[in-house]
Structure formats: C-alpha cells, structure tokens
Amino acid sequence: MSRLGNIGARLYRGEVGYDFVGKRMIWYGISILITITAIIGLGVRGLNMGIEFSGGAVFTTPKTSVSVSHAQEEAEKASGHAAIVQKLGEDKLRIQISEVDTAKADQIREKLAEDFKVSAEDINAELVGPSWGEQIANKAWLGLGIFMALVVVYLALAFEWRMAMAALVALIHDLTITVGIYALVGFEVTPGTVIGLLTILGYSLYDTVVVFDGLKEASRGITKQTRWTYSEIANRSLNATLVRSINTTVVALLPVAGLLFIGGGVLGGGMLNDISLSLFVGLAAGAYSSIFIATPLVADLKEREPEMKLLAKRVRSKRASAAAKAEREPGSPAQDDVPEDGEPEDEEPAGVVAQRAQPASRNRGRGRPSGKRR
C-alpha cells in the first residue's frame, strides 16, 4: 500500500486525525477575511461585464500582421470606448467594443479596414443588444435560486435541516469568493462564466454530502454512549473522508488548470478563460468549504441542542472520573481503551490466576520406555 493510502486507511479507522472541528473558529475567521476581501474587490472594481450583458460589437479581422497593442489603440480611437483585443490563431484578431450601435459599428469597421489595410467586407461585425444579456442574467439568477431551493429541500429530507443550512452557507461562500476573484483579476464575465458558476455548485456539494452521509451513520444512537461528543464524531467522519476529498479535488483541478494556464494563457483562448477560471476557483473553494466550513458549522448547530449539551456534559463527567481513577490507581485502563458503547471491556474476576504453562522438558519422556531398563 502506498504511503498516501496507508494514511487514508489510518484516518478512516480513526488512528490519526486532525481536529478540524475543534479549531473551527480559526477557519471561520479565515473564511470571513477572504469573503470580506472578495466583497471589497467587487464593490471597488466591479465586474468586467462582457458585451453579451452590456451590449456592443465584435469585429473579427482577416489575416493581418497588426499587433494586439496597435489594434487596441486604433479601435479605441475609432470608437471612443475601451476595446478588448484577442489574437485568434496566428494572424487573426477579435476586437470587442461595448456600447456600440449599428451606425457606429459601420464607422468603426471602415476605420479599422483603413488602418489595417484590408477590405471592409473582410471584417466580420456582430452586434449584441443589451436586452439579450439582461435575459441571460435573469435566467441565470432564476436557475441559481431554483437550484439552491432544491438543494435545501433535498438535504433537509435526506439528512436534516441543520445540514441543509450548512451546505447552503458553504455554497454562498464559494460563489462569493469566485465572483470576488473575477472582480479582482478583471476577467470578463460572459455566458461561459455563468455556466462555470452553475457547474461548480455540484462539485461544491459533492464532498459535503459524502461527509454528511458518513456523519449521519456515525451519529446514529449517539446519545446511548458516553465516549464521544457530536463534534468529535463529526471530526472523525471528516477525517475518514479527507484523503478521498483531496484526491477527487486534485484530479478535478488538473484538467481545469490545463484549460486555464495552457489553453487560456499560452494559447490565448479567451473563451477558455471565461469558464476555466470560474471552475478552478470554484473547485478549490468548494473543497475548502466542505472541510473547513460545512461540517464544523453542522457541529456548531447540533451542539446547541439540549440532548447534545447533556451528552457533552456526560462525556466530560466520565472523562474526569476516569482521569481521577487513573491518578488513584496507576495502571488502570485509559479512557481511550473504553469501547464505543461507553462500557468498559470485560475483565478477569478478582482472585483468578491464569494457569501457568509447564516447561516442556518436565514431562519429556514420561510414559514411554527408554530402552535401557528391563
């Protein structure tokens, strides 16, 4: 078995583990800091909305030797607005200008044809009205709302409402961070970005649901024992699925990273950037929230129940009693040796001594002739 597999097996059996739930205030603080940074970036810089949402024109040039910087400069002079220029392949350009109507688009195309020394008919111009982008945005918000409502209802029925609330908080956390990163980086928001945002919601829930399912099984009949509190069982369930969560997240991030850094960065695929950045940030944020936010938040909510408060009190009382007994009677079994049902293991009755094994040489040769005596 590999070293990672051995660690995973030991985590699953509870032999080793990290106290994620016990240190939840640290993770809450980190998440709040990241979320505040994302909100500030969104408020200060705003989102760079594509022409699909703001309206405008897209010009695609034929083969030309004009550089991207020169094309951007000429396009901004011709339109009076900011222009986004992307290289298509080796010799074609895609020029995007917002807030341009039909008459203005014809003037810009003529000016670009003159500057680039190509025919105006060879420059393809596409106009996008802002009403179409508004419809896309409204449908995206509607889809997001329906998805979250269905998630909350399903998790509340399959598990309980506390887990549903924790999963919803984790989803909002992931979306806020992803949108904030878009604002800070300045990537353009296109329909591809919306598709990426809707896609990461499923990935964000995957690890969370796996942990919740294990926690539901582990906490069944929890009040009948006095060895573990609910937070401790939640932490054990989280550690049991930790390696699987890490493996699935890394495997999912690798192809997305290829799209983002190679396809978008090296090859210059603008449309790849739109969807790959949202997927990359969303997957990473989803893995973080399932480990550091969702499960600790469930433990927080459950520990407020009267039954769980009473259980925690009983666990602390029993541990204090075991510790006091260990001080009075050195060599008594530690608390961790008590089985999970809360009762000590059966011991030998007092005064019973195990039978001592006799040496093998003491009975050797007895009952058989030696061959020397007659």
pLDDT at site 355 = 37
Kindly state whether residue 366 falls inside one of the protein's structural domains: no
**Residue appearing with tokens 């419809």:** 135
pLDDT at site 276 = 81
Q: Which of 290, 308, 326 is the last residue of a domain?
A: 308
Phi then psi for 305, rounded to 5 degrees? -70, 145
Kindly state whether residue 334 falls inside one of the protein's structural domains: no
Provide the token pair at 59. 């010009």
Kindly state whether residue 278 falls inside one of the protein's structural domains: yes
183 & 281 share domain: yes
183 & 284 share domain: yes
pLDDT at site 27 = 92
Range of the domain at 63: 56-128
pLDDT at site 1 = 52
DSSP state of 19: -
103 & 250 share domain: no
pLDDT at site 4 = 54
Kindly state whether residue 109 falls inside one of the protein's structural domains: yes
113 & 146 share domain: no
- Please, are residues 189 and 275 in contact by the beta-carbon 8 Å criterion? no
146 & 236 share domain: yes
Distance CA 184, CA 43 (A): 10
pLDDT at site 268 = 53
239 & 191 share domain: yes
Q: Name the 3-class secondary structure at 368.
A: coil
CATH for 281:
1.20.1640.10
pLDDT at site 194 = 80
Kindly state whether residue 93 falls inside one of the protein's structural domains: yes
Distance CA 39, CA 45 (A): 10
143 & 250 share domain: yes
Kindly state whether residue 341 falls inside one of the protein's structural domains: no
Kindly state whether residue 372 falls inside one of the protein's structural domains: no
183 & 238 share domain: yes
232 & 301 share domain: yes
Structural domains of the chain, count? 2
CATH for 62:
3.30.70.600
pLDDT at site 25 = 93
Distance CA 217, CA 206 (A): 17
pLDDT at site 162 = 92
Kindly state whether residue 337 falls inside one of the protein's structural domains: no
The order of strands in the sheet holding 124-128 is 83-88, 92-98, 56-60, 124-128
Q: Which of 105, 128, 151 is the last residue of a domain?
A: 128
> What's the helix, strand, coil split of the chain in %, to 5?
65, 5, 25
Q: Which of 99, 128, 157 is the last residue of a domain?
A: 128
295 & 171 share domain: yes
218 & 254 share domain: yes
Q: Which residues of the chain have pLDDT under 50?
A: 334-374
Distance CA 114, CA 92 (A): 16
Distance CA 18, CA 21 (A): 9
The answer for residues whose C-beta is within 8 angstroms of residue 22's C-beta and 6 or more apart is: 231, 235
- Please, are residues 189 and 48 in contact by the beta-carbon 8 Å criterion? yes
275 & 203 share domain: yes
